[in-house]
Amino acid sequence: MLGIAAAVWGVVMALAPVLQIHRMIKRRSSADISLGYFGLLLPGFGLWIGYGWTRADWPLVVPNILAFTVSTTTLVIGLALRRRGRQIAAGPPPRRH
């Protein structure tokens, strides 16, 4: 029972960054989100996936696959918004005559 409860809560935790994704899209900015945090989490999720896979421990593998996927999505959206923000801040390229 404890393993099932932990796996279910792991899925909830894995989906938590969706709230950050929603905030970034709504504000059209990732300025107040630490993308480094998500970047540091990704290798950890990968290691837990590998460890769980070798032990056939699916309650460990499934939440970490979800967490890896959602965190990667958060990172990609955040980086895209920052790139877009820099392009807007730089303004249009100078016109050549």
The Cα–Cα gap between 67 and 84 comes to: 25
- Total-model pTM: 0.82
Each residue's pLDDT, cut to its tens digit, for the chain (97 residues) gives 888 888 899 999 999 999 999 999 999 999 999 999 999 999 999 999 999 999 999 989 999 999 999 999 999 999 999 998 877 776 666 677 6
71 touches 41 (CB < 8 A): yes
* Structure tokens that stand for 10 in this block: 């792991």
